[in-house]
Structure 1
């Protein structure tokens, strides 16, 4: 990040089922989810190419997972980036559930895939 950029801001956008990270008011990336009962199932994370290499994905996912904890929900990491992040951040292990074929089938149905 250059000195002219503001601190990234992460916001939850419930009607779009995602968290977005903003840099200088512009969306730089997102992590998408669907809720199933008390579980937030993360299935996709992306950072726009113009913002790559700045560590924004890590900031985004960490703040999204902290929000999940604050909401009293659990995490299901179908998204490979979220799954990898969780292997390095054991502080979320107590609220992480495994990915199961049943959850994957449910997600495919919800997303129409």
Structure 2
């Protein structure tokens, strides 16, 4: 598969998500809920048509940079986020909080 050209990540606070587009076409997203100073990421998805092009990594990298710039902290409930921050522990430790039972319970209440 050819690598994606011109991927763009956009924060959509009204939708509580970051969206990645390729040549203007929606390719994936990551969803969150804010809990005080924490941004709890719980779901990341890339459309099958764009699989294998590194878009999930680009999406999470950009979202993480945005969270860091905004002075918030990340809680990686989403399995992709958890894998991403574990793999890059040294670069992400300053902005990542652990997933605790309290956070999980809070998130369940928010998502219904």
TM interval, shorter chain, is over 0.9
User: Which residue in 2 is equivalent to 1:27?
Assistant: 26
Q: What is the TM-score when the length of structure 1 is the normalising length? A: 0.94
Structure 2 unaligned segments of length 5 or more: list them.
Answer: none
Q: What is the TM-score when the length of structure 2 is the normalising length? A: 0.94
Q: How does 1:89-100 map to 2 (within 5 A)?
A: 89=88, 90-100=90-100
Would you identify which runs of 4 or more consecutive aligned residues in structure 1 move more than 6 Å?
A: none
SS of 2:94 mapped into structure 1: helix
Is 1:16 aligned to 2:15, yes or no? Answer: yes
Structure 1 unaligned segments of length 5 or more: list them.
Answer: none
Alignment size in residue pairs: 111
Alignment RMSD:
1.3
Which whole-Å CA distance do the structure 2 matches of 1:70 and 1:101 have between them? 27
